[in-house]
Structure 1
Amino acid sequence: MKNIFLTTVLIISIFIKGLAQPGHELATQIKADKRLDTVYVKATALLSKGFNAGDGYPQVWIRDFNTFIETSCKVYGRDSIRANLLTFLKLQQTNGEIVDGYVLKGHVTWNDPNIYTSPNDASHVGFKNTVETDQETSLIQAIAKYIRITGDKSILQEMIAGKTALQRMETSITYLLKNRYSNKYHLLTGATTQDWGDVQIEGGAVVDIDENTHWAIDIYDNAMFVIALNDMAGFYKTENDQKKWQQLKTTTVNSIRKHLWDAKKHKFIPHLYLDKSPFPASFDENKIYFHGGTAMAIEAGILSKSEIKLVNQDMMRNVKLSGAPSIGLTLYPVYPENIYKNSSASKPYIYQNGGDWTWFGARMIQQLIKHGFIKEAYSELQPMLDRTINDKGFYEWYGVDGKPNGSAAFKGSAGVLAKAIDELKEWAKNN
């Protein structure tokens, strides 16, 4: 009897101690928050309506699809997801590049003069915003996510015009190393854009490389590259096959830390120019803080936990100074209006120049959860939950005045929010 009594006392004391832990109180609060369920249900409902980016975007874009594929896998059959992923590989160009998006032939929109076709797919045509360098890496990441969720590794051996899907992804990396790579800095290159944006600052062809383009290196493209290289290594069974990708990943991470990370200011520099900057000498671009690219750098494992803490504090300080609704703020301070004479992308706090995007803000929330900053993650998620419910939609972006803009059914926003909610609830369940 004495042993039973002591055992009972011990169990009760452990239970009481568990209740007293700060994590338990936060977990209880998260479990009781019905807004999480409301937003999640709304997100899955939207993502059950296809794979295009949202209303106003009839194309299926890989940079968007990559961010909502995990939730799509829960509301769609495996075959539908697989077919959409393989379409990007069927539309792969002979030089190895991957298109941004595709649409059924005959449904061409936006009067885009640069239509991509392929003999491997007679049903679709593709589009590409060539100022960006994230299409190949987005597809690799999306296929990796698909495999992790479904367990369907056979997609890697799917034959497309004599090459496996895996060989085609290898070719896409070769394209980047041949056409979008600086041998001097060992980093990917692209046009000068605002953070992760796909609109070049110089105007001109706007979303396409042209004679106005100033070639540069930024954190977003290279963080995406690191994530994709890690995924590539995971596609192979033997250590010898994995080694090539792991070495390239290590080289890229080291180069990012050396050339882009400013340790004293604990931020990434906006751009490293291959030739010259498009901005006047009087403008100090390095004052600008890129939120989106920084979030991706955390996902890529480039920053330590102590650096993540500082980065998050900096971001929240920027949110307060700008007046933005959430940590989805693209960048701060914004690029001044007319900073470049031909620019169509420099109006302050509009679109990619300081707009507030759940599409990237919720990715930062995901990383805070992953690295144990649960209190911060839950707190910073609040405005995103509230505006989704109050505005009855997953808007593309918000102004600093809190007004929604762009597509009201932007699947990228729905996908990243749903994933953040999933991860938050999973943490609460285990605590």
Structure 2
Amino acid sequence: MYIHTMIKKVFFFAYFMLFTLPAIAQQKALAARILADQRLDTIQARALQLLTGFTAGASYGEVWIRDFNTFIKGSLVVHDKEKVKEMLLLFFHMQGRDGNIVDGMIPKQKAQAGYDYIYSDLAPEWAAHKNTVETDQESSLVQAVYKYVRHSGDTGILHTVIDHQTVLQRLAAALQYVHNARWSSRYNLVTGATTIDWGDVQPEKGWGVVINDHTKWSIDIYDNAMYAIALKEYAELSGDAATYLPLYNELKNNVRKYLWQAGKNKYLPHLYLDGSPFSPDFKEDEILYTGGSVCAILAGFHTTREIKSINRQMLAAAAKEKYATIGITVYPPYPEKEFPNMKPYVYQNAGDWTWFGGRMIQALTEQGMVKEAYEELGPMLDRALSHHGFYEWYDVQTGAPKGSGDFRGEAGVLYDAITLLKDWARRH
């Protein structure tokens, strides 16, 4: 017995010396690198300077909920929480009677972008619009309120009454709207118009952000992952886990059943409900959807092994283009013949968006893959520093920055990713 005990002690000591100590040393070295990296401090400082505003960016007059959701944590650093709360509550003032949430809002006198504007007596000085091809507005607002409550400590917002309904009730109505108006009873999954990954433009020429006679309804990972995150976070906000966590679990199971391709470790781009808008010989299944995949990881849909595989595929896609990072939206891009409304390597059709690449850095860090997160963040930091701004997207063939030069979505996700990395480094 004594000999057996001694052998076990020697074994554990040897294991500790061979594996545990080197791992601890590597973590300490990585933590030191992160804390000494002045790029992180510079980017965070610049991000906070930009987050003094709420519009999506310099070229946008609107406050968009899908963008605001991704920079609200930084907003709470530079603004009094009451100011952030006021902006959030505006979306409830513009909420439809069926529970739907608008995309963006703009002061009424500036409403000249050509949208079919929405008005409300509860906010008479504002005009709003909704890009109806997408199904992420409701989920984005739930997530934004969750971040606000978690980082401000202000639970009072949940009980604020707007036209006889509390914010909690209005959030529940928003979630129910998706189930009522954007739901496939056959698959028990969220539906939307066919777009590129998380994008908001349909393939056909014309005003592609609004449902029309050409719309092809489909199911994709982005809309479902965003809704799943919202269900889980609303369960926490409301304290009603008994109702909302089963809905989350059912959604997760159906995503795994119908969209996740286990043999390829990637998502099916679309599951079509009434036919595809693309040519019969077009192999859409070969396209990697990066943004939706990131949201699926954040939604808790994946094992560590699967996350590593997704990350490898994103790195492999980026390696095929000279100036790409893991933020490249899809790969390969849709040919112009198939998607005439957006040419290859333009905007959401294989443009490079730190807005989503930065979220992958957050996902990797939360999964303990900190070395990968830090290394994959580097090209995004260098790009932002070299161009002296937070650009909306980047051309992966030329490296040129595109779109708004002061895009708050990029600033917000970089600020959050760096915060997570620094927090990890301080603990190690």
TM-score (normalised: structure 1): 0.93
Q: What is the alpha-carbon distance in structure 2 between the residues aligned to residue 288 and residue 19 of structure 1?
A: 37
Q: What is the alpha-carbon distance in structure 1 between the residues aligned to residue 177 and residue 279 of structure 2?
A: 33
What is the correspondence of 1:163-312 to structure 2 with a 5 Å cutoff? 163-237=165-239, 241-312=240-311
Q: What is the alpha-carbon distance in structure 1 between the residues aligned to residue 246 and residue 415 of structure 2?
A: 33
Task: Give, as a single letter, the amino acid of the residue that structure 1 aligns with 2:265.
Answer: H
Task: Give, as a single letter, the amino acid of the residue that structure 2 aligns with 1:384.
Answer: M
Aligned match for 1:62, one of 65, 70, 76: 65
What is the correspondence of 1:271-420 to structure 2 with a 5 Å cutoff? 271-340=270-339, 343-345=340-342, 347-400=343-396, 401-420=398-417
1:4 maps to none
TM superposition shift of 1:123: 1.6
Aligned match for 1:91, one of 91, 94, 97: 94
Q: What is the alpha-carbon distance in structure 2 between the residues aligned to residue 143 and residue 199 of structure 1?
A: 26
1:36 matched to 2:40? The reply is yes
Residue deviations 1:64-88, cap 9 Å, x none? 0000001111110010010011000
User: What 5-or-longer segments of structure 1 have no aligned partner?
Assistant: 1-12
Q: What is the alpha-carbon distance in structure 2 between the residues aligned to residue 32 and residue 205 of structure 1?
A: 48
Residue deviations 1:255-276, cap 9 Å, x none? 0000000000000000000010
Task: Give, as a single letter, the amino acid of the residue that structure 2 aligns with 1:414.
Answer: A
User: What 5-or-longer segments of structure 2 have no aligned partner?
Assistant: 1-16
What is the correspondence of 1:55-134 to structure 2 with a 5 Å cutoff? 55-112=58-115, 114-134=116-136
Task: Give, as a single letter, the amino acid of the residue that structure 1 aligns with 2:87.
Answer: N
TM superposition shift of 1:324: 3.9
> Would the aligned equivalents of 2:288 and 2:332 in 1 still touch at CA under 8 Å?
yes
Query: How many residues align structurally?
Result: 409
Residues 18 and 314 of structure 1, relative CA distance in 2, 3 Å threshold: closer
Aligned match for 2:56, one of 37, 44, 53: 53
Q: What is the alpha-carbon distance in structure 1 between the residues aligned to residue 46 and residue 400 of structure 2?
A: 20
Q: What is the alpha-carbon distance in structure 2 between the residues aligned to residue 352 and residue 270 of structure 1?
A: 14
1:422 matched to 2:413? The reply is no
2:12 maps to none
> Would the aligned equivalents of 1:18 and 1:24 in 2 still touch at CA under 8 Å?
no
> Would the aligned equivalents of 1:19 and 1:25 in 2 still touch at CA under 8 Å?
no
Q: What is the alpha-carbon distance in structure 2 between the residues aligned to residue 360 and residue 265 of structure 1?
A: 22
Any idea what SS the aligned residue of 2:334 has? coil
Q: What is the alpha-carbon distance in structure 1 between the residues aligned to residue 427 and residue 274 of structure 2?
A: 52
TM superposition shift of 1:20: 6.5
What stretches of structure 1 move > 6 A for 4+ residues in a row? none
Residue deviations 1:115-155, cap 9 Å, x none? 11112211211011110000000000000000000111111
Task: Give, as a single letter, the amino acid of the residue that structure 2 aligns with 1:365.
Answer: I
1:22 maps to 26
TM-score (normalised: structure 2): 0.93
Q: What is the alpha-carbon distance in structure 2 between the residues aligned to residue 292 and residue 390 of structure 1?
A: 24
